[in-house]
Structure 1
Amino acid sequence: HKPAPRLTLRGGSAVAALAACLTPLALGMIIPLGRLVWLAAHTEAATGLAAASLHSLTLAGITALISAALGLATAYALRSRTAIATLAARAAGLGYAVPGAVAAVGVIAILSGTQALIDPAWRSLTGEVFPILLTGTGAALVFAYLSRFAAAAISPAETALARVTPSLDGAARTLGATRRRRVWHIHWPLIAAGVTSAGLLVFVEVLKELPATMILRPFNYDTLAIIAHNFASDERLGEAAMPSLLIPLVALLPMIFVARYLSRQDR
């Protein structure tokens, strides 16, 4: 359990160690990022980037909020230690291993089947075909995202809730705290970091999700990932640079908010 000794490197050893540490960073981020910035600065920006940024933020934000709430609810269900809760939580986590295209096709099959069941009843009542509200809408996209990234929300929430031991609940009940008071004043300060981190993970995953978005998106509803892919597939790397840079820049906004919120929680 003793701390590892600190070795002071000098001369060629120090240079070699510094180069070994900087090489992955330079090849993986600094050089590609610099190239993208150079291309974006020397190429006229494509149209529709503002709308695509708003679409990406909307989809990612809605999915992150819902997934964080579902992840927390699942974590509480797992505390009951019932077989059905455990089975449901583990089954929900399997979607993380499914490719986005496969998840999109599965969502289409489920929602189109639901639409087919609703159509006869709706036609008998109104004489018209049931409007297409399930497939080809933002709801289908959010459903696909939730099915894919549920595990990214459940695991952090479950880990965070493990900090709330039964003895804490027992002590609070002994002092006369109601369930609502226990959840808000005891549970939430301990699990806030895990729940917000879960939402942030899903937010970032949705921002860069491409296959499911391309298959399920409504007409003329582009995201930054789709615009970047379309330009890159046409070898128009200059036009693809700006939307590619905007994806991490858009992700910085909630990261800053979450970091400030967690720092206030720590204080």
Structure 2
Amino acid sequence: MTSISESQDYSPKGSKRGHKAGGSAFAFLAWFVALSCVLPMLAVALAALTGGTDTIQHLVETVLARYALTTVALVAMVSVGTLLLGVGAAWLVTMTRFPGVRFFEVVLVLPLAFPAYVLAYAYTFILDHPGIVQTTLRDVTGWGPRDYWFPEIRSLGGAALMLVLVLYPYVYLLARAAFLQQTGGAFLAARALGKSAFSAFWSVSLPMARPAIASGVLLAVMETIADFGTVSYFGVQTFATGIYTSWFSLADRSGAAQLALCLLSFALMLAVLERSTRGKARYHQAGKRHTTMPPAELKGIGALGAWVLCAVPVVLGFALPVFILFNMGLQSEQDLFSRRYIGFLQNSLLLATVAAILTVIAAICLGFYQRLRPGRVSSTAAYMSRLGYAVPGGVIAVGLMVPFAAFDNVLDAWMRANFEIRTGLLITGSIWLLVGAYMVRFLAAALGAYESGQSTVHANMDAAARSLGQGPMGMLRRVHLPMLTPSLLTALLIVFVDVMKELPATLIMRPFNYDTLAVQAYRLASDERLEGAAVPSLVILAVGLLPVILICRQVGRR
């Protein structure tokens, strides 16, 4: 039977003209958003290529190799760590049964609420030389500072550990979904042929889930190269810290742009790799689900081992840091209800609210444009808009500051010459450019949430709305938006929380004397006032728990 959308058009001719005009408006808005998203990347490339060879030669001779090697080493360690933790936990809670398995399959997501730099503050407080662990060790043994060796938390390995503990849920969620979708036939056949459970997992189940696992690891890697707070606090020199140092400490705009171009190239390469991997991520679903994977009952030592393996990342990545931060906050002199902290909170809430609303509106324009005019053109606009999720915040900040600062300077010079009026930093001195950076960085998350909801709206509903005389705007307002309210609220919440946690772009682009909770936490930690940094960190964590609770509820229902 032919659906309404595939049959002849019953809409009035007037509505056809309105539909065409409305479609053109959405096309304009969608492409405006898409071009805004690629503007920072083009600006970074142009600034880097026109910065002269002296700067790049100096970078090559001094810091470029160190930045590259450190970044690659950090990426390698985080990749291995998230792979082992995420896949191991996903297999245990999906394919085995032991006491507490239902509890662990939900709480294993909780470390996702932590920004890595907040975790770094908590562990530095207890593991650094003056921390409680080493102090107790010296008191018990009578050793002096040079009489023993203790792992240095402020190191490349320490930064990798912090990132692994907060990023492994990406791999865990995707690997668990892949294992749940597998049929049990191949696994049972391998067991029938004499393979052990581990051998069958290694040779059958793991290869079938490889695309989903690779996507999770690549997401963790992209978050790693975008991280600034953790590596900066631990003194690890990566491209992210190099960009900030060149921009502020050395006042070298060309050097910052050229470092940003190196990091941008690496990030875009990962984005293409992630997209190609995700495009192949369907073969683990092949086959009819007539045979479910039989979970193995673990008892004795096996059950205890599984319980410990699942408990360790939850304790280290969530429970222990929350306990540490709470105690640090009690010892601090920071008053969360003081006028100063109320200002930090208001700034954070204002930026997060405005950025979330504008980002979701941009996602609606892009998603609805794809719905109105499916094809290569609309898909290209959506793909361009998604590139921001792979670009670190520091790169986006440099890419926006360079052209708009030049525009502000030209405008100020022209106004002074003709009207004797100083306009100053009209754009770069406002919060709107910072909000634009947030939109570029987090639009992919909002667009993904919107498109997942839009897929539930059948095409026949669009045809019915057109037959009743509704144009695109009426169709969106009366049909799509009411049905997509849950997806839109999810998108708003995700972007809101991401903006609350964002640090590098905020540090570079915030207006003078306009600090957020994240900036305040970073500043206090940089001054070694870790107890004070715990107070804004706890607020950021509390806000970050909101989307994680939603994810936990979905995992529990699944």
TM-score (norm 2): 0.43
* 1:23 is aligned to 2:316: no
Q: Structure 2 CA distance, aligned partners of 1:122 and 1:150?
A: 35
Among candidates 209, 222, 234, match of residue 502 of structure 2: 209
Mapped partners of 1:115, 1:157: distance in 2: 35
Q: Does 1:41 align with 2:334?
A: no
Q: Is the 8 Å Cα contact of residues 517 and 540 (structure 2) preserved in structure 1?
A: yes
Letter in 2 for 1:33: V
Partner residue of 1:58?
A: 350
* 1:178-189 paired onto structure 2 within 5 Å: 178-179=470-471, 182-189=475-482
What are the Cα deviations for residues 149-178 of structure 1, in whole angstroms up to 9, with x where unaligned?
A: 22122222122212222222224445x363
CA contact (8 A) 1:63 1:203 kept: yes
Aligned twin of 1:230: 523
Q: Distance in 2 between matches of 1:142 and 1:135?
A: 11
Provide the rounded CA distance (Å) in 1 between the counterparts of 2:395 and 2:407.
19
Aligned to 1:264: none
- Measure, in 1, the Cα distance between the counterparts of 2:393 and 2:301: 48
| Larger CA deviation: 91-100 vs 60-69 | 91-100
Does residue 1:164 correspond to 2:453, yes or no?
A: no
Q: Please, which of 141, 151, 163 is the counterpart of residue 434 of structure 2?
A: 141
Shift of 1:196: 1.9
Q: What does residue 365 of structure 2 align with?
A: 73
Contact 1:204/1:251 (CA < 8 Å) preserved in 2?
A: yes
Task: Rate the CA distance shift 1:14–1:216 in 2: closer, same or farther, 3 A.
Answer: same
Letter in structure 1 aligned against 2:443: A
Q: Displacement, 1:146?
A: 1.2
Which digits, 9 at most, give the CA deviation of each residue in 1:172-230, with x for residues without a partner?
Answer: 445x3634664344322432222222222211111111111111111111111111111
Aligned residues: 256
Maintained 8 Å contact 1:229/1:240:
yes
* Offset at residue 119 of structure 1 (A): 3.8
Instruction: Write the distance in 2 (CA, Å) between the matches of 1:54 and 1:225.
Output: 12
What's 2:448 paired with?
155
Q: Which moved more, 1:27-36 or 1:81-90?
A: 81-90
- Counterpart check, 1:193 vs 2:486: yes
Query: 2: CA distance between counterparts of 1:193 and 1:22?
Result: 32
The more displaced of 128-137 and 145-154 is 128-137
Structure with bigger RCO (C-alpha 8 Å, 6+ apart): 1
Greater Cα radius of gyration, structure 1 or 2 = 2
Q: Give the Cα–Cα distance (whole angstroms) in 1 for the partners of residues 300 and 319 of structure 2.
A: 25
Q: Does 1:244 align with 2:537?
A: yes
Q: Is the 8 A contact 1:149 1:202 kept in 2?
A: yes
Scaled by the length of structure 1, the TM-score of the pair is 0.84
2:421 is matched with: 128
**Counterpart AA for 1:192:** T
Please state whether the residue corresponding to 1:133 is helix, strand or coil: coil
- Give the letter for the 1:108 counterpart: M
CA distance in 1, matches of 2:443, 2:469: 32
Partner Cα distance (1:163, 1:121) in 2:
53
Whole-angstrom CA distance in 2 between matches of 1:125 and 1:160: 53
Instruction: Please say if residues 400 and 437 of structure 2, whose CA atoms lie closer than 8 Å, have aligned partners that are also in contact.
Output: yes
Q: Which amino acid aligns with 2:321?
A: P
Residues 68-107 of structure 1: pairs in structure 2 closer than 5 A: 68-79=360-371, 80-107=373-400
Q: Any idea what SS the aligned residue of 1:205 has?
A: helix
Question: 5+ unaligned residues in a row in structure 2: which ranges?
Answer: 1-288, 551-558
Task: Structure 1 unaligned segments of length 5 or more: list them.
Answer: 260-267
Shift of 1:242: 0.8
Check whether the contact 2:359–2:439 (CA below 8 A) recurs between aligned residues: yes
CA distance in 2, matches of 1:121, 1:44: 49
Q: Percent identity?
A: 35
* Deviation of the 1:15 alpha carbon: 2.6
What residue is the counterpart of 1:114 in the other structure? 407
Q: 3-state SS of the aligned residue for 1:87?
A: helix
Q: Specify the alignment match of 2:134 in structure 1.
A: none
Partner letter of residue 324 of structure 2? R
**CA–CA separation in structure 2 for the residues paired with 1:101 and 1:63:** 17
Which letter does structure 2 place at the counterpart of 1:63? A
Cα separation, partners in 2 of 1:214 and 1:10, compared to 1, 3 Å = same
Give how far 1:5 is off: 3.7
Instruction: Give 1:52 deviation, angstroms.
Output: 0.8
Matched letter for residue 162 of structure 1: S
| 8 Å CA contact retained: 1:68, 1:196 | no
Distance (whole Å) between structure 1 residues aligned to residue 547 and residue 391 of structure 2: 26
8 A contact 2:494–2:547 mirrored in 1: no
User: Matched residue of 1:245: which SS?
Assistant: helix
1:7-52: per-residue Cα shift (whole Å, max 9, x none)?
5444433332222211110011111111111111122116622211
Given that residues 65 and 199 in structure 1 are in contact (C-alpha distance below 8 angstroms), is that contact kept between their aligned partners in structure 2?
yes
Letter in 2 for 1:153: A
Rounded Cα–Cα distance in structure 2 between residues aligned with 1:86 and 1:39: 49
Q: Could you say which residue in structure 1 is the equivalent of 2:102?
A: none
Preserved contact between residue 347 and residue 515 of structure 2 (Cα < 8 Å): yes
